[in-house]
Amino acid sequence: MADGLAEARNDGQVQDMHGVNALRYDWTRAEALALYDLPFADLMFRAQSVHRAHFNPNHVETASLLSIKTGGCPEDCGYCSQSAHYDTGVKATKLMAQADVVATARRARDAGATRFCMAAAWRNPKERDLDEVCRMVSAVKDLSMETCATLGMLTAPQAARLREAGLDFYNHNVDTSPEFYDQIITTRTLQDRIDTLAHVREAGIKVCCGGIIGMGEEVDDRLGMLVLLSNLPEHPESVPINLWNEVKGVPVNDTAERPDPIVLARLVAVARIMMPNSVVRLSAGRQYMTDELQALCFLAGANSIFIGDVLLTTKNPQTTRDADLLGRLGMTSALNRTPA
């Protein structure tokens, strides 16, 4: 096979016995690398073809993210500004009041966000805190927004409670490849994360799961992360791809290196091909991306962004800049529904 992939297995799909396209859950590292190494024009063409078969190629989903409980996390994630293990200058706060969360969600909706994600720096939520988060979820749902939460590890009963409250999505990233994982985290295993994803699925909540690039990992680790995600029992409905954000005082600073822009575009394209039905989100780190790089990533199959000036504790492009970029690209979103 010239490019390492049989023609019948192109574009992230295989033909089933009735000739109907079926999603794949048996990707190998060799196949992912063969895609990644394609001539750039061929890779982009293949990714765009898959994208057009499953999505409107000229539409970008807009979401908003709020830290409802910041800092003091007992986990030792080596990239995180909110870990209690490192002196990053981020102060621990209490859980926000429901009224303040709902007011922020309303402003996000009015600014053009269609999904609102609530993030808490916990290893796992305590029952009394989960009670309050469930009330927040229900209140945000009443604003006619999609709801998302990221609260750390969940038990099966906790996931079920969040679903009953109206939670649509749960974010729980695998962060990196199985081989690189223990170099950045020691307090929570990769299997812990997989178990939480299973609880979320069993509860009927959609999965948002991706990772971070630029922490010192190799290309093989980035592709290994995509293979892990694409070979889950079901592909995540949302796949956030985060660029490492510079944070003072964390161990990843010693190994971090921001990827070349073409590398990022290639990775987005491979994610699109391997997980055709998943929304691929350009998440943290967009403040480092030029307009041209973001446009290239949209062409490669990215179709979601976070809007708002701040993501948790890091910067994000201003909403006016996002609206202007999407308008110049002729792309629709809740920010800019008609092409400029």
Domains located in the chain, CATH noted: 7-328 (3.20.20.70)
Query: How far, in Å, CA of 281 to CA of 333, rounded?
Result: 14
* 146-150 and 169-171 beta bridge pairing: parallel
> Which residue would you say has higher pLDDT here, 18 or 115?
115
Distance of CA 88 to the CA centre of its chain: 23
List, as one string, the DSSP characters of 182-239: TTT-SSS-HHHHHHHHHHHHHTTPEEE--EEE-SS--HHHHHHHHHHHHTSSS--SEE
> Which residue would you say has higher pLDDT here, 244 or 98?
98
The percent of residues above 90 in pLDDT, for the chain, comes to 70
Mean pLDDT across the chain:
89
- The pLDDT-based confidence of 312 (bands split at 50, 70, 90) is low
CA 170, 235, 168: angle at the middle one, nearest 5?
25
Burial 297-325 (b: 16+ CB within 10 A, else e): bbbbbbbbbbbbeebbbeebbebeebbbb
Burial 255-287 (b: 16+ CB within 10 A, else e): ebeebebeebbbbbbbbbbbbbebbbbbbbbbe
- The pLDDT-based confidence of 168 (bands split at 50, 70, 90) is very high
Contact 11, 49 (CB under 8 A): yes
Range 16-45 average pLDDT: 84
What kind and span of H or E run contains 295? helix 291-300
Asked whether residue 2 carries a pLDDT value surpassing 50, the answer given is no
Weakest mean pLDDT among 88-102, 246-260, 283-297: 246-260
Query: How far, in Å, CA of 33 to CA of 159, rounded?
Result: 35
Asked whether residue 138 carries a pLDDT value surpassing 80, the answer given is yes
Asked whether residue 81 carries a pLDDT value surpassing 80, the answer given is yes
Contact 252, 79 (CB under 8 A): yes
Catalytically annotated residues: 73, 77, 80, 117, 148, 208, 281
Asked whether residue 254 carries a pLDDT value surpassing 50, the answer given is yes
Asked whether residue 179 carries a pLDDT value surpassing 90, the answer given is yes
Residue matched to tokens 């996002």 = 322
Weakest mean pLDDT among 16-30, 173-187, 266-280: 16-30
Weakest mean pLDDT among 210-219, 261-270, 302-311: 302-311
Model confidence over 199-246: pLDDT tens digits? 999 999 999 999 999 999 999 999 999 999 999 999 999 999 998 887
Highest-confidence range of 69-83, 176-190, 302-316, 320-334, by mean pLDDT?
176-190
What is the structure's pLDDT at 100? 94
Distance of CA 100 to the CA centre of its chain: 25
What is the structure's pLDDT at 317? 66
Query: How far, in Å, CA of 191 to CA of 174, rounded?
Result: 9
- The pLDDT-based confidence of 121 (bands split at 50, 70, 90) is very high
